[in-house]
């Protein structure tokens, strides 16, 4: 077999260890087994996401309203940036498969260049994901969380979102976060939100054209907007906490599980991309040093290639279930 990397001197003997079952080398087959098990891990996560989504089917956040930003541009551009990220990842898959092909032809220069481009593509993708996280964590309009953990957002009469910072009226007697140096020693509380619910309520009273939008999805597939009277009573009676952005506890976009799964699944995928980049860099240097040239086979490039394509494959599914469906 011309792709065999190490020779055991027992080729051809059935139990000698030199055989290649399924005409695939040991390393490649093990990479396939790993990919199957990793695929099951990811589908476990995505199915759990589906579980929570089915559980809150009537109030799940609408992705187009969550991921609307593009770096360096202002305005509302749903999907554009994530489509770009998808394209970058597919493109880096292409350079990877070109590197594998060049490896089959034992062309060291080409393998080097294609590996280099693959690494660049991976870095762009990881960077984009970091930016996406940053934007998601920072949030944009802010919302009020109710006692039951639901989210109340604010819209004007045209249905456009209104930021909490634009309506909140500063009230007297602002509470200061309790630090461990005051009063009870070594006991502190978390950073207080920039506004209190009372300030937001006063702001709602002062702005007659602002309404409350709940997270319940109506029959047209939009979030329900309350009438003016309902808005005021709802916020007064149920509002408990002002939320800005998203973290593992609260989420201004809707159900907090949405943020949890977003961080968990895209984070786990991002970690895969990151380790893929690291492995690619190692292989890249091996290629430059001529390790595979001396070994007489670029099969190692093929094996990391399999892993890299798998990362792309997972992203295709994450893209569908987080951003499209």
Partner 1 sequence: MAHEHKLAIFRGTVKFKSNIQKIWGVLIFLTIVTAIEVILGIYKPEFFMHTWMSPFEGGFFATLGNILFSPIIYMKPLNLIFILLTIVKAYYITWDFMHMRDETSALRKMVVWTGVFLICYLIFILLQEGGYIQSVYENGYVKRDF
Residues that bind partner 1 (CB under 8 A): 2, 22-24, 29, 32, 35-36, 39-40, 43-44, 47-48, 50-58, 64, 78-80, 83, 86-87, 90-91, 93-94, 96-98, 100-101, 104-106, 146-150, 214, 216, 221, 238, 302, 305-306, 309-310, 312-313, 316-317, 319-320, 323-325
Complex with partner 1: residue 7 or 191, whichever CB lies closer: 7
Query: How is residue 71 annotated by DSSP?
Result: T
In whole angstroms, the minimum distance from the beta carbon of 297 to partner 1 comes to: 8
Q: Which residues, 6+ apart, have CB-to-CB distance to 173 below 8 Å?
A: none
Complex with partner 1: residue 80 or 130, whichever CB lies closer: 80
In whole angstroms, the minimum distance from the beta carbon of 186 to partner 1 comes to: 35
In whole angstroms, the minimum distance from the beta carbon of 91 to partner 1 comes to: 7
Complex with partner 1: residue 169 or 225, whichever CB lies closer: 225
- Within 10 Å of residue 222's Cβ, how many Cβ atoms? 13
Q: Which residues, 6+ apart, have CB-to-CB distance to 110 below 8 Å?
A: 98, 99, 102
Complex with partner 1: residue 253 or 315, whichever CB lies closer: 315
Complex with partner 1: residue 112 or 171, whichever CB lies closer: 112
In whole angstroms, the minimum distance from the beta carbon of 149 to partner 1 comes to: 8
In whole angstroms, the minimum distance from the beta carbon of 130 to partner 1 comes to: 22
Q: Name the strands in the sheet holding 239-243, side by side, starting at the edge strand that comes first in the sequence.
A: 223-225, 210-217, 151-156, 143-146, 239-243
Query: How is residue 191 annotated by DSSP?
Result: P
* SS3 state of residue 251: strand
Strand partners, 241: 145
Helix extents (H) in 188-298: 197-206, 228-238, 256-261, 267-289, 291-295
Complex with partner 1: residue 2 or 189, whichever CB lies closer: 2
In whole angstroms, the minimum distance from the beta carbon of 94 to partner 1 comes to: 5
Please give the C-alpha separations between residue 241 and each of 63, 142, 175, in angstroms, as whole numbers: 23, 11, 14
Two tokens, residue 121: 């593509």
Residue 172: exposure state from Cβ atoms within 10 A (0-12, 13-18, ≥19): exposed
- Under a CB-based contact definition with an 8 Å cutoff, are residues 221 and 60 in contact? no
Complex with partner 1: residue 29 or 205, whichever CB lies closer: 29
In whole angstroms, the minimum distance from the beta carbon of 48 to partner 1 comes to: 6
> Where in the chain does DSSP place strands (E)?
143-146, 151-156, 210-217, 223-225, 239-243
In whole angstroms, the minimum distance from the beta carbon of 38 to partner 1 comes to: 10
Complex with partner 1: residue 188 or 290, whichever CB lies closer: 290
């Amino acid at each position: 077999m011309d792709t065999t990397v190490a020779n055991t001197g027992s080729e051809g003997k059935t139990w000698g260890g030199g055989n290649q079952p399924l005409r695939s080398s040991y390393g490649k087959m093990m990479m396939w087994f790993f990919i199957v098990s990793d695929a099951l891990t990811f589908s476990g996560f995505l199915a759990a996401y589906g579980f929570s989504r089915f559980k809150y089917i009537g109030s799940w956040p609408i992705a187009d309203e969550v991921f609307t930003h593009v770096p360096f541009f202002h305005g509302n551009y749903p999907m554009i940036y994530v489509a770009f990220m998808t394209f970058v990842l597919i493109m880096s898959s292409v350079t990877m498969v070109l590197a594998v092909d060049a490896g089959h032809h034992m062309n060291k220069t080409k393998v080097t260049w294609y590996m280099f481009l693959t690494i660049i593509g991976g870095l762009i993708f990881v960077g984009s994901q970091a930016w996406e996280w940053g934007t998601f964590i920072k949030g944009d309009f802010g919302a009020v969380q109710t006692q039951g953990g639901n989210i109340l957002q604010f819209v004007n009469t045209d249905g456009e979102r209104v930021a909490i910072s634009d309506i909140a009226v500063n009230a007297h007697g602002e509470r200061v976060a309790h630090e461990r140096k005051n009063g009870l020693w070594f006991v502190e509380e978390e950073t207080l939100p920039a506004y209190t619910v009372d300030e937001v309520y006063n702001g709602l009273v002062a702005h007659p054209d602002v309404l409350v939008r709940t997270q319940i999805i109506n029959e047209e597939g939009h979030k329900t907007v309350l009438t003016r009277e309902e808005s005021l009573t709802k916020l007064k009676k149920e509002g408990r906490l002002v939320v800005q952005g998203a973290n593992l506890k609260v989420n201004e976009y809707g159900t907090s599980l949405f943020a949890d799964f977003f961080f968990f699944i895209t984070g786990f995928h991002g970690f895969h991309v990151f380790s893929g980049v690291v492995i690619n860099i190692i292989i890249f240097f091996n290629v430059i040093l001529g390790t595979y040239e001396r070994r007489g086979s670029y099969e190692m490039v093929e094996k990391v290639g399999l892993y890299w394509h798998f990362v792309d494959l997972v992203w295709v599914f994450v893209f569908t279930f987080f951003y499209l469906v």
